[in-house]
Structure 1
Amino acid sequence: MNIVQIENGMTLQENTVYLAAPHYFVTLKGSVLETPCETLEDYRDYLNDHPVEIVDLQRDLLIVLTQFLRDKEAFSLIEEQINQYFEPTKYNSYQVKKNIRKMKSSQLLHLLLPIAQQVSLLRTIKVKLNT
């Protein structure tokens, strides 16, 4: 597994940001429309020239991603997987949420995206930001 460290500390597998459609595509499309970019390649170059925009984009994408934590079916699927990062104990919903807050954004992102696919909440597309 090739993990890349981006300037703000977020790790992404193989230079690829995994986005869930349609919510993430709308977020990405809105971000592109706010720039002078005409293509995704132009947008990639724009992001490389403006690192603060990468931070803003990742924050927006993570906000959309974590919204499904309120979904009971999704929450039951992630409960056991999140708890694997912590000492074995009797968990309840409060403890799981407390553990989520302790996780780094990159850990949470890599954990939640495959689960979102399992729950069929979102279908996944890939958008290359670096080549």
Structure 2
Amino acid sequence: MLAIDMNGHIAAGTSTNGMTHKVPGRVGDSPLPGSGCYADDLVGGAVATGDGDVMMRFLPAYQAVESMRQGASPTQATEDALNRILKHFPSFSGALVAVTKDGLVGAACTGFSSFHYCVRTKSNPMTSVISVKCK
């Protein structure tokens, strides 16, 4: 989840898919800054889903925000973060959603046929479901 409040503060949050396959004592990617989510009020935020053990190595949410800091669009930034992972793990499955501090949203995914996410803005209070075709 990504949110921008009326003062321009950005929040990013994630949750885990549960305890089904969790090894006792293992910390997943969700609570690790930059892996499952990352936000910077000066730039924007990003959230990730997918193979947490791989994502912990690459911090894709952080990478997406840093790419936006360098001028990339949210879509370009999410694609770049996933491409960094795919160079090392070609069969990786995951997705990223990013938002700029100005509310521009983009996403990318790999390993699925498509990925869906929702967007609601002040100017469009009706929630829109966006579908992205994956690599």
The structure with the greater share of residues assigned to helix is 1
Structure with a larger share of its residues in strand: 2
Which TM-score band (shorter chain)? under 0.3
Q: Find the structure with the greater CA-based Rg.
A: 1
Q: What TM-score do the two structures reach when normalised by structure 2?
A: 0.24
TM-score, scaled relative to structure 1: 0.24
